[in-house]
Structure 1
């Protein structure tokens, strides 16, 4: 029996589009990788104005047979929002004929190197063949009861892989720093969250990017960056910012508040409960009655988020198979909070991607 015998031809064609759309979705990522490898956002930025295809390929020194290929790639990236096609006057033409040129959009401006909110490190890390290649092993991962996707693809868990490969650890840390820099804009609108606190410990804070942002907002607030010893051993603090080595599964330094930025989504429920219990112990051992845990993470909300945003969050959820973590819904987070014995929590939108969650003991 033909499974599709009752379907109209138009319906089958629509289904074909869905299949092909996902079949070739990786092309979007590969075009973006090409764009960064050739430093095209930087070239347009340094050009000082929208750049024509002729000037772009001349700067890149592209051989003539590949100029058409560059045009096709730029057309694809422009269609997907990375560049804007505009008209400019041809200065080399006496008739001042207009020609097409590529201008930066907000998305490609975020890829220009050396800027405060550059996401190029995050993009390059995510598209590295060794790391992104892990997702070819999702089928095998499905039947490995206790292994992460990294265990299956790399032969070890992701954190051990980073510790044994310093270049990749640096690569990963740079990507996390670029992501954290984006939060600087959002945190400015959430100052009340930190008001009244005398101390805060940034768990898994790496080089202290988030703590430095908070410290700049509240110079009198004592910020403790807490991470594994090998992560913080060569880092030095200043004024009210310090670095402490340790393991969050054993203990967390005492403070009025504990910050977990992008931590809970790295772990399964069992490990999250351990982390949250240690966080609770850390804030209950201070004299402040308003102690709390501050979580910055993605919260999946399929009912209220727009389709494109939900799609991105669900993709990020699949990314977390690398470490057996997950992006959670409010219901899943609430379950964790109740298991640890927290009395209340509050979720506020931080930016489009992340939410800010305050948990009270």
Structure 2
């Protein structure tokens, strides 16, 4: 709710290290409810407990508690340049879908298809508002994760052609090509997706079905694609990538990575929750590095390397032909 109210945006606009009272924030959002400052203070106190805002100290005017933005809280600021988690956490469709978890356990099947009467991507293609929401979510997540990946991973360097399979509107590929402009980029996704994609320097948008064919290249990338599909579809997709690779080429897989053992870390909590999200949305799952390596070998790849982890939950892996 704090995201919908714009609280994180207000704290961010106040500037670094600024702290605001709930009365100040209530005036900023033009709340008519006389109890708004009290309700906001209670909400901000909760956010402070989770480390999303600082403060709660009585050093404001008239002894009011004041709050500031933490590093973690910045992830919920609507920021076109650096991305935001707002679209991801405030997705109404996901919240409604969780009410189906009981039926998923008892009956099985794809619960999204049961609720919407069609698969996720078909529903997205037929509903522009949903498609826009989904694209905003993916774009913001890409800005956050790819920026960090490009700081730590240099495996794109030296490539000639890079195909981003399931690349959406090309935001991820554009970030990569902007850093490595000598690479030719091919953004590959369903025809209705690439038709709506903006033009980027050095990038060609190509429409097609990744389960039928993948464009040929020396480097193929899949970012957060495999966790959307069951093992059978993943194996088919990896085999298509293998066939499309030039000799000595590689597939770069960027994916959330499941923990090997049960633990209570924040990373484990996040990835286990994401795993159930995939079950609800797609009848799919998150996988461990061992499971992904085994799948790569089954698809024909000669070797596998886990190159780095970002945010302790996203792995950058290379599969070699």
Q: Same fold (TM over 0.5)?
A: yes
Q: 2: CA distance between counterparts of 1:262 and 1:53?
A: 39
Which stretch shifts more, 169-178 or 191-200?
191-200
Match of 1:154 in 2: 116
* Corresponding residue of 2:192: 230
Structure 2 residue 190 is the aligned partner of structure 1 residue 220: no
SS at match of 2:316: strand
Is residue 78 of structure 2 the alignment partner of residue 113 of structure 1? yes
CA–CA distance in 2 between the matches of 1:179 and 1:320? 16
* Alignment check: 8 A CA contact 1:257 1:294 kept: yes
What are the ranges of 5 or more consecutive residues in structure 2 without an aligned counterpart? none
Rounded to whole Å, the distance in 2 between the matches of 1:134 and 1:317 is 14
**Residue 283 (structure 2) aligns with:** 324
Residue pairs, 1:335-350, within 5 angstroms: 335-350=294-309
Deviations, residues 267-288 of structure 1 (Å, cap 9, x unaligned): 00000011000000110xx3xx
Residue segments in structure 1 that go unaligned for 5+ positions in a row: 1-33, 92-96
Higher relative contact order (CA 8 A, sep 6+): 2
CA positional deviation for 1:346 = 0.3
1:55 corresponds, among 17, 24, 43, to: 24
Query: Do the aligned partners of residues 99 and 307 (structure 1) sit closer, same or farther apart at CA in structure 2, a change above 3 Å counting?
Result: same
Q: CA deviation at 1:325?
A: 1.4
The offset of 1:197, in angstroms, is 1.0
Partner SS for 1:314: helix
Change (3 A) 1:339 1:302: closer
Q: 1:220 to 1:112 in 2, by over 3 A?
A: same
Aligned partner of 2:267 among 283, 286, 309: 309
Cα 1:140–1:88 shift into 2, 3 Å: closer
Q: Secondary structure at the match of 2:147?
A: helix
The structure with the largest alpha-carbon Rg is: 1
The alpha carbon displacement at 1:225 in A equals 0.2
Corresponding position of 1:45: 12
TM-score, with length taken from structure 2: 0.91
Q: C-alpha separation between the residues in 2 aligned to 1:188 and 1:46? A: 27
339-348 vs 247-256, which moves further:
339-348
Instruction: Check whether the contact 2:257–2:289 (CA below 8 A) recurs between aligned residues.
Output: yes
Aligned length: 316
Query: Could you list the per-position Cα deviations for residues 288-329 of structure 1 after superposition, in whole angstroms to 9, with x for gaps in the alignment?
Result: x43000000011124497622111110000000110111001
User: Does the C-alpha gap of structure 1 residues 185 and 350 become closer, same or farther in structure 2, counting only changes over 3 Å?
Assistant: farther
TM-score, normalised to structure 1's length? 0.82
Q: Distance in 2 between matches of 1:201 and 1:89?
A: 54
Structure-2 residue corresponding to 1:25: none
TM-superposed CA distance for 1:35, in Å, is 0.3
Are the equivalent residues in 2 in contact too, given 1:186–1:350 (CA < 8 A)? no
Give, in whole Å, the separation in 1 of the partners of 2:315 and 2:88.
23
Q: Superposition RMSD on alpha carbons, in Å?
A: 2.1
Helix, strand or coil for the counterpart of 1:116? coil
Superposition deviation, residue 157 in structure 1: 1.4
Q: Aligned equivalents of 1:66 and 1:217: distance in 2?
A: 46
Equivalent-residue separation in structure 2 for 1:197 and 1:355 (angstroms): 20
